[in-house]
Amino acid sequence: MSDIYFIGIDVGTTGAKAVLINVQGEVIDTITNNYPMQNPHPLWAEQNPEDWWMAVSKSLSEVIQKNKINPVDIKGLGLTGQMHGLVSLDKNGKPVYPCIMWNDQRTSLECEEITTKIGFENLIRITGNPVLPGFTAAKLLWLKKNKSEVYNSINKILLPKDYIRYRLTNEFYTDVSDASGTSLLDVEKRKWSDEILERLDIPKDWLPGVLESIEVSGRITNEASGATGLRPGTPVIAGGGDQAAGGIGSGSIKEGIVSIVLGTSGVVFTNSDKFRIEPQGKLHAFCHAVPGKWHLMGVTLSAAGSFKWYKETFYNSPVNSQDPYDNLTKSAVHVPPGSEGLIYLPYLSGERTPFSDPDAKGAFIGFTLRHTMAHFTRAILEGVSFSLKDCFDLISAMGINADKIVVSGGGAKSELWRSIIADLFGVEINTLSCTEGAPFGAAILATVGTGYYKNIPEACSVILKTGSTIAPDKNKFNLYNDYYSIYKELYPELKTSFKDITNITNKYYGY
């Protein structure tokens, strides 16, 4: 069994990562090759799908050659990647326009148009979400209105990871979790919505087939074999969007297990055994990569990104010193919980959950002559944690109680930050021994899709191994939640001022 391998491929925002595991889930190696992003106009974000293919091909061939793996021993490949991106192909399977990415913000008018045509409540009922500028459907309408020659040449549309599937297998498929972020899927029924397609006048035959995440979507072609080193006929599993695959990689596969990802943005993610929607669309409701399950997700846009901004803006790291983040948190450990009344609002890039507001701004509230840099450091970690609790409380209000929280991402390396979350949420915090997230989850899906494990729970029970554990402190729980009650009052009080600041900066600086 030790000579049985699986690969997870992540078509990420900055690069293509290949994670090689054995059947016991041990990570043998990880290879990443990067590619650029273009920003031809303000608020635009585009990538060339050919860049993804070149990076994926290179990552696959390098991980196979470097580890001297016989391609016959690679039993399956799972796919994941950035969600929502629009890849438009002509009848020859060639891209007719750069991929409009998840972080592209050009489609606000199209979002309004879709909401008017479908109706807000109807959108929530069918897709589980409001339509946002990053989602796929609005980008398709933008092409129709602004690039009619491109729109009229479209034969198929794909999401980023599914373009790589097409290059690997010559098949047009997506999975239910990634399709959930297009604003075109009936998320409860796990199939394309005929009602939405008809109202938006989008041909259904443009869309790929929809599979559950563990289904075999195709097999490596001879051409793809030559580019990657994989054996022709190797199964390619449907996989999942990056958050759903990351949920597999963190073990969030049943109700009661919540995943928190402390990346540049922060994600609070949980499995749902039934289709639940937050009536105002404050939480994303998508199909999970677990067949027959869904997931709920809240997002705070500046999580570890807040700490990175703070470090780069205010901290002069001594030459040949330790990791600057470690230096900062070492001093913050000695600051009392609650930072002696200093509260941070982490809205450096606007905010998504629990309120979608691009004009929200960051703020420090309550500082005095007593407060030092160590206080500000701790307040950053606490403020982001308050924002994550906004997401967590929405999930709790949906009837899902957390028995266990698994924290991952770069910010999870901080024991102080993990302990703050444990004390604020009142729930035990765990880490996992593997931190590869989405591509690791995609590789786990491949172990199930090829039959080496009978289902996802069995695979996760064998493969996932707990790292550290932190229990909550009841005394700190009360203190933190007193401060959290103040934190929740601040955004409503400042919302109008945030908008006024935006208007003034636009007026005088031309932003």
Helix extents (H) in 367-437 = 373-397, 415-425
Give the Cβ contact number of residue 60 at 10 Å.
Answer: 26
- Alpha-carbon distance of 94 to 108, in angstroms, equals 28
CB 257 within 8 A of CB 246: no
CB 74 within 8 A of CB 443: no
CB 38 within 8 A of CB 49: no
At 450, give phi and psi (nearest 5°). -95, 0
Catalytic residue among 242, 273, 359, 403: 242
- Alpha-carbon distance of 159 to 146, in angstroms, equals 21
At 431, give phi and psi (nearest 5°). -115, 165
Q: Regarding beta strands 404-408 and 257-262, do their DSSP bridges make them parallel or antiparallel, or are they unpaired?
A: parallel
Q: Is 194 a catalytic residue?
A: no
- Nearest 5°: the CA angle 451, 452, 456 is 80
Helix axes 324-332, 415-425, angle to 10 degrees: 50
Of 442, 408, 435, 434, nearest to 161 by C-alpha is: 442
Q: Which residues are catalytic?
A: 242
